[in-house]
């Protein structure tokens, strides 16, 4: 007899459901075979450990014996962690969108035994409310329809299967040029909220990829519109309640239009992407409070990642005395809830602040919007959105001392649950961000940590055949690697190669691309599928094109291929990049507004700022440091002794030191600058690059 089988899983999300009376199974051949053999529809429930509404539906329905009995009697019940199986989540989120429903989690989909979706939704209440039917009503109605009107189910399933197959082969046929980029970003600019930053309305998501594309538009034309859109957005995020002003790190989004009330879950990917964006923006800012703010938030966020998101290596290496210098990786997320209440860990009352800070409380409360009635459900979410004195050195010093009192006090509370899964793709985002921030903010210790994280991933998440696993948890790597794993780690490897000059990182990036070309490339239509050609039990292989919360893998791969071509001179990478562009550029250029990572990758391919440092010793090292510290987003750095070992197609081929002194050459296209021997002059030249 089927029973709940989730106890054997490692996913913290699946383990949250191991004691439900629902006969949950993980996605796999056994569950699918049971549906086929019994001719029972599948109830697929997708969520993740930090998902608030997933917890709500679990408590209301999955822990309810009567509702569980309905589920067990009529369905084969499959539970999926969307972070563990993004390939599955992507397919059925797309299906839900085709049904005219808003996506999200928990995702509740009803499938034929062949995995074909025929109906779905997200959260369903246990009784009718919010204008939605009750979950028991849904279960009974769909079970009756499945067995009583099979032709209707078959018709819906066939239509959805065909639509998903079409979605996996997006039609290209369009063209893109450097001249077209400004028109696309002008359209994107119209979505920006000029008062609060971010995009119009609520909820507000940080959308670092979107604003990265706008920042690069600013660098192209140096107009104020894009600059203000990006810096105002970052400033409001950094001072709003979406930021954890005591512990560091950003929440996933704000539920309001003013960045005050966060959905309190914290995800690794948001923080990695925001760190990289701030590190990209900061070098081009004038000194002042806003620049200081971005530097401070970058430092605090990386400190939070290193302190609170760091996994233990004991499980992987089977020893209890974990070496503090050993490789490790970052875990994926913190829950929004603690003690069953969203945000309880993070909010304060005025009385608590008065008790803890005494005579200092009044000044702190003014700065952090602490009032007797609170600013959210009777409590206060600390924020500095309306602090007119922000940035004054004396005030900042005072507030730092106050925070040093409050943070240890907060740590006595019961914290939200941490999702201890290590995800290859999100760690790739973190490594690339830390490598960039290390150079820009002169923090070589961050580069060391980035290298350790990368080492953990390629050691612990690599299979015997060199392929990647997607997850690692409780000492066990699992699940086939997806496109974003290889793409993000390939980009991270190239960032480490640029930062260190270590050719092993370039070799690793080359191996990632080789795997993608062998197992993920669509020979018929072009572009990379999300799942490999040997991934079992998938209805279809989706092809991610549009950016969502994280960059689309195909967009990231355009940058990876561009950089591989520029660094190695190998024309096969350029050919593959051109094929990717041809297959995924829509006929209507305006649609590229939803593909900002694709845009930034294209710009690197066509207009990289290639810096070649020729020479050795301290003078060469100083020029290398200046190039890296520039933070220029299109920087491609080459190191050479005399210019003779550069790729044959490189514009600086043969250009060497000047009178025995190390020299740098700044090249765009096939045009190079005169030799630059002074690091300050190199910094100025890169700062002026559009």
Task: For residue 286, name the pLDDT band (cuts at 50, 70, 90).
Answer: very high
Tokens representing 195?
Answer: 């008062």
Tokens representing 336?
Answer: 């929004």
Q: State the Cα–Cα distance between residues 643 and 552, nearest whole angstrom.
A: 36
Is 150 within a domain? yes
* Total of domains in the chain: 3
Q: Greater confidence, 449 or 103?
A: 449
Q: Which domain-ending residue is among 390, 410, 430?
A: 410
State pLDDT tens for residues 569-608. 999 999 999 999 999 999 888 889 999 999 999 999 999 9
In the predicted model, is pLDDT for residue 325 greater than 80? no
Q: State the Cα–Cα distance between residues 664 and 643, nearest whole angstrom.
A: 11
Q: Which domain-ending residue is among 167, 194, 219?
A: 167
State pLDDT tens for residues 84-111. 999 999 999 999 999 988 889 999 999 9
Query: Residue 382 carries which DSSP code?
Result: -
Task: For residue 616, name the pLDDT band (cuts at 50, 70, 90).
Answer: very high
State pLDDT tens for residues 369-378. 999 999 999 9
Q: Give the domain CATH number at 61.
A: 3.40.30.10
Percent of the chain with pLDDT over 90: 91
Asked if 433 contacts 495 with a C-beta cutoff of 8 angstroms, the reply is no
Q: State the Cα–Cα distance between residues 445 and 466, nearest whole angstrom.
A: 29
CA distances from 261 to 48, 210, 569 (A): 21, 22, 49
Would you state the pLDDT for residue 314?
A: 42
Tokens representing 544?
Answer: 């991610």
Task: For residue 131, name the pLDDT band (cuts at 50, 70, 90).
Answer: confident
Would you state the pLDDT for residue 588?
A: 87
Q: State the Cα–Cα distance between residues 532 and 534, nearest whole angstrom.
A: 5
Q: State the Cα–Cα distance between residues 489 and 487, nearest whole angstrom.
A: 6
Q: State the Cα–Cα distance between residues 485 and 87, nearest whole angstrom.
A: 12
Asked if 440 contacts 302 with a C-beta cutoff of 8 angstroms, the reply is no
Would you state the pLDDT for residue 322?
A: 55
Tokens representing 464?
Answer: 């015997």
Asked if 644 contacts 654 with a C-beta cutoff of 8 angstroms, the reply is yes
Is 84 within a domain? yes
Cis before 59 (ω within 30): no
Task: For residue 313, name the pLDDT band (cuts at 50, 70, 90).
Answer: low
Is 550 within a domain? no
Is 372 within a domain? yes
Least Cα distance to 289 among 212, 384, 194 occurs for 384
Tokens representing 446?
Answer: 């961050």
The angle subtended at Cα 669 by Cα 667 and Cα 674, nearest 5°, is 30
Would you state the pLDDT for residue 102?
A: 87
> Three-state DSSP class for 506?
helix
Least Cα distance to 483 among 548, 573, 543 occurs for 543
Is 525 within a domain? no
State pLDDT tens for residues 353-373. 999 999 999 999 999 999 999
Type and span of the H or E element at 450: helix 444-460
Tokens representing 60?
Answer: 């209301």
In the predicted model, is pLDDT for residue 661 greater than 70? yes
Residues ≥6 apart with Cβ < 8 Å to 228: none
φ and ψ at 469, to 5 degrees? -90, 155
Q: Which domain-ending residue is among 389, 410, 431?
A: 410
Asked if 301 contacts 288 with a C-beta cutoff of 8 angstroms, the reply is no
Tokens representing 422?
Answer: 């290590």
**Dihedral sign computed on CA atoms, order 94, 95, 100, 104:** negative
Would you state the pLDDT for residue 270?
A: 97
Q: Greater confidence, 510 or 315?
A: 510
Least Cα distance to 689 among 602, 615, 581, 604 occurs for 604
Q: State the Cα–Cα distance between residues 103 and 109, nearest whole angstrom.
A: 11
Q: State the Cα–Cα distance between residues 409 and 11, nearest whole angstrom.
A: 31
State pLDDT tens for residues 189-198. 999 999 999 9
In the predicted model, is pLDDT for residue 619 greater than 60? yes
Is 674 within a domain? yes
Tokens representing 457?
Answer: 């991933």
Q: State the Cα–Cα distance between residues 474 and 494, nearest whole angstrom.
A: 29
Is 617 within a domain? yes
Q: Beta-carbon neighbour count of residue 125 at 10 Å?
A: 15
161-170, 208-217, 341-350, 437-446, range with the lowest pLDDT = 161-170
Would you state the pLDDT for residue 388?
A: 84
CA distances from 609 to 317, 502, 679 (A): 42, 20, 16
The mean pLDDT of 546-566, rounded to a whole number, is 96
Least Cα distance to 11 among 26, 24, 33, 30 occurs for 26
Domain residues for 646? 608-687
In the predicted model, is pLDDT for residue 382 greater than 50? yes
Tokens representing 676?
Answer: 């630059």
Length, in residues, of the chain: 690
State pLDDT tens for residues 33-67. 999 999 999 999 999 998 989 999 999 999 999 99
Least Cα distance to 520 among 576, 482, 480 occurs for 482
Is 307 within a domain? no
Tokens representing 6?
Answer: 């989730």
- Secondary structure in 3-state letters for 554-581: HHHHHHHHHHHHHHHCCHHHHHHHHHHH
Write down the residue that tokens 């599928």 correspond to: 529
Would you state the pLDDT for residue 312?
A: 74
Would you state the pLDDT for residue 320?
A: 42
End-to-end alpha carbon distance in the chain? 67
């Amino acid at each position: 007899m089927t029973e709940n089988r989730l106890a054997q899983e490692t996913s913290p999300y699946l383990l949250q459901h191991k004691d439900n009376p629902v006969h949950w199974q993980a996605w796999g051949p056994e569950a699918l075979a049971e549906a086929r053999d019994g001719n029972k529809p599948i109830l697929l429930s997708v969520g993740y450990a930090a998902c608030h509404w997933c917890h709500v539906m679990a408590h209301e329905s999955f822990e309810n014996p009567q509702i569980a009995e309905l589920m067990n009697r009529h369905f084969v019940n499959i539970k999926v962690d969307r972070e563990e199986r993004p390939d599955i989540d992507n397919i059925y989120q797309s299906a839900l969108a085709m049904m005219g429903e808003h996506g999200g989690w928990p995702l509740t989909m009803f499938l034929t035994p062949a995995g074909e979706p025929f109906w779905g939704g997200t959260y369903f209440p246990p009784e009718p409310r919010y204008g939605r039917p009750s979950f028991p009503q849904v279960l009974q109605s769909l079970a009756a329809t499945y067995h009583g009107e099979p032709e209707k189910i078959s018709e819906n399933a066939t239509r959805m299967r065909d639509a998903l197959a079409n979605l996996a082969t997006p039609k290209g046929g369009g063209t893109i040029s450097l001249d077209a980029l400004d028109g696309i970003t002008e359209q994107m600019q119209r979505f920006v909220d000029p008062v609060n930053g971010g995009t119009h309305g609520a909820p507000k998501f940080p959308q670092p990829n979107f604003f990265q594309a706008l920042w690069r538009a600013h660098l192209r034309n140096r107009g104020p519109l894009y600059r203000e859109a990006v810096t105002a957005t970052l400033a409001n995020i950094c001072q709003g309640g979406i930021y954890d002003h005591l512990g560091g790190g950003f929440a996933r989004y704000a539920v309001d239009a003013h960045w005050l009330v966060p959905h309190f879950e914290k995800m690794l990917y948001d923080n990695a992407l925001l760190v990289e964006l701030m590190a990209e923006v900061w070098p081009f800012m004038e000194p002042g409070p806003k620049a200081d703010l971005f530097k401070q938030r970058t430092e605090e966020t990386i400190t939070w990642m290193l302190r609170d998101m760091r996994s233990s290596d004991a499980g992987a290496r089977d020893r209890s005395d974990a070496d503090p210098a050993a490789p490790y990786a970052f875990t994926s997320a913190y829950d929004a809830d603690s003690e069953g209440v969203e945000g309880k860990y993070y909010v304060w009352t005025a009385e608590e602040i008065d008790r803890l800070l005494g005579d200092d409380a009044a000044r702190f409360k003014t700065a952090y919007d602490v009032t007797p009635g609170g600013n959210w459900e009777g409590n206060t979410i600390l924020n500095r959105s309306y602090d007119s004195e922000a940035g004054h050195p004396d005030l900042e010093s005072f507030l730092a001392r106050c925070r040093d009192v409050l943070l240890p006090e907060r740590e006595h509370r019961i914290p939200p649950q941490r999702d201890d899964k290590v995800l290859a793709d999100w760690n790739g985002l973190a490594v690339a961000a830390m490598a960039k921030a290390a150079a820009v903010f002169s923090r070589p210790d961050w580069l060391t940590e980035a290298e350790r994280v990368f080492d953990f991933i390629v050691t612990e998440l690599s299979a015997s055949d060199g392929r990647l696993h997607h997850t690692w948890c409780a000492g066990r790597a699992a699940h086939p690697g997806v496109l974003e794993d290889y793409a993000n780690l390939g980009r991270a490897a190239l960032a480490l190669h640029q930062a260190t000059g270590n050719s092993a990182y370039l070799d690793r990036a080359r191996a990632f691309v080789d795997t993608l070309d062998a197992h993920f490339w669509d020979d018929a239509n072009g572009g990379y599928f999300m799942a490999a050609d040997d991934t079992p039990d998938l209805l279809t292989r989706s092809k991610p094109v549009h950016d969502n919360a994280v960059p689309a893998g195909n967009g990231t791969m355009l940058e990876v291929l561009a950089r591989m071509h520029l660094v190695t001179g190998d024309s096969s990478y350029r050919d593959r990049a051109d094929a990717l562009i041809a297959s995924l550029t829509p006929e209507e250029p305006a649609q590229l507004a939803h593909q900002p990572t694709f845009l930034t990758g294209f710009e690197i391919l066509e207009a990289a700022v290639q810096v070649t440092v020729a020479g050795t010793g301290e003078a060469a090292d100083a020029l290398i440091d200046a190039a890296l510290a520039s933070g220029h987003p299109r920087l491609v750095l080459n190191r050479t002794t005399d210019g003779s070992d550069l790729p044959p197609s490189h514009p600086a081929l043969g250009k060497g030191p000047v009178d025995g002194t190390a020299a740098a050459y700044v090249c765009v296209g096939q045009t190079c600058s005169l030799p630059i021997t002074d690091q300050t002059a190199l910094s100025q030249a890169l700062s002026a690059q559009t």
